[in-house]
Amino acid sequence: MTVDVKHVSDTLLALERSLNERWSTGDSSGYLDNYHDDISYFDPVVETLLVGRHAVVEHLTRLYKNPHIVRNEYLNPHVLVSQGGDLAVLSYNLNTFVADGSGGERLLRMWNSTEVYRLVDDQWRIVHSNWALAKSLTVAVAS
């Protein structure tokens, strides 16, 4: 079986954008409905790994407020696809912008995002999600 990596990449990029654009305008259900039952999730506001759709949905529902994001920049997208074509890792940088109150916009946050998708019953479902704030340290250090 030959995997059409470009098709998988294009599909996942479009899916991720659609889920994130819904999130940005106040509809968190796109992501929440897409999560696999066994999802694992890293969030910068919790110290531990969240495991299972119920735990992740509960966490995000409790924290979620409509961010009123007016624009997103999707930078440096990179997709790795398994040889079988049923598992893919999507990584990208995301800059989110909100209205600045004077007719313009301002940068809200810069994110590093990694989503692991698995093809389940002909639908791409997120099985692992990692959201990290970009530039969260003031000094470059590895430990």
H or E stretch at 110:
strand 105-120
Extents of the domains making up the chain: 5-133
What is the chain's length?
143
Matching CATH number, 5-133, of 3.40.718.10, 1.10.3720.10, 3.30.1050.10, 3.10.450.50: 3.10.450.50
In tens, the pLDDT along 47-82 reads 999 999 999 999 999 998 888 999 999 999 999 999
Cα(14)–Cα(132) distance, integer angstroms: 21
Q: What is the pLDDT of residue 23?
A: 94
In tens, the pLDDT along 18-27 reads 999 999 999 9
Cα(21)–Cα(19) distance, integer angstroms: 6
In tens, the pLDDT along 86-136 reads 999 999 999 999 999 999 999 999 999 999 999 999 999 999 999 999 976
Q: What is the pLDDT of residue 52?
A: 98
Q: Taking the model in full, what pTM does it have?
A: 0.91
Q: Strand, helix or coil at 94?
A: strand
Which residue carries 């989503």 as its tokens? Answer: 115
